[in-house]
Amino acid sequence: MNGMGEKYFDVISEWICSFYSATSFYCNLIALFGRIKMRVAIAISIDLLCVYAILIRTKKYLEILIQKN
């Protein structure tokens, strides 16, 4: 990827990674004090991790498509 698209993907992926880390930490902290169940905290963490993985995979596919053209 080149140009603005790569810049936006990098910014979005960094934001999602930061959001995932913070949300995972706070969900586990809240679960520790009994406000939500640990299963809910783990489910939220896994969902956010899947979103991050999909974003990275999409970026790699777009890079391959751009290189072929």
At 35-62, the pLDDT tens digits run: 777 778 788 777 777 877 787 787 777 7
Q: What is the DSSP letter of 69?
A: -
pLDDT digits (tens, 9 = 90+) for 19-35: 777 777 777 777 777 77
Per-residue pLDDT at 69? 64
Q: Residue 5 pLDDT > 70, yes or no?
A: no
Per-residue pLDDT at 4? 61
**pTM given for the model:** 0.51
Please state the length of the chain. Answer: 69
Cα Rg, the chain, nearest whole Å: 16
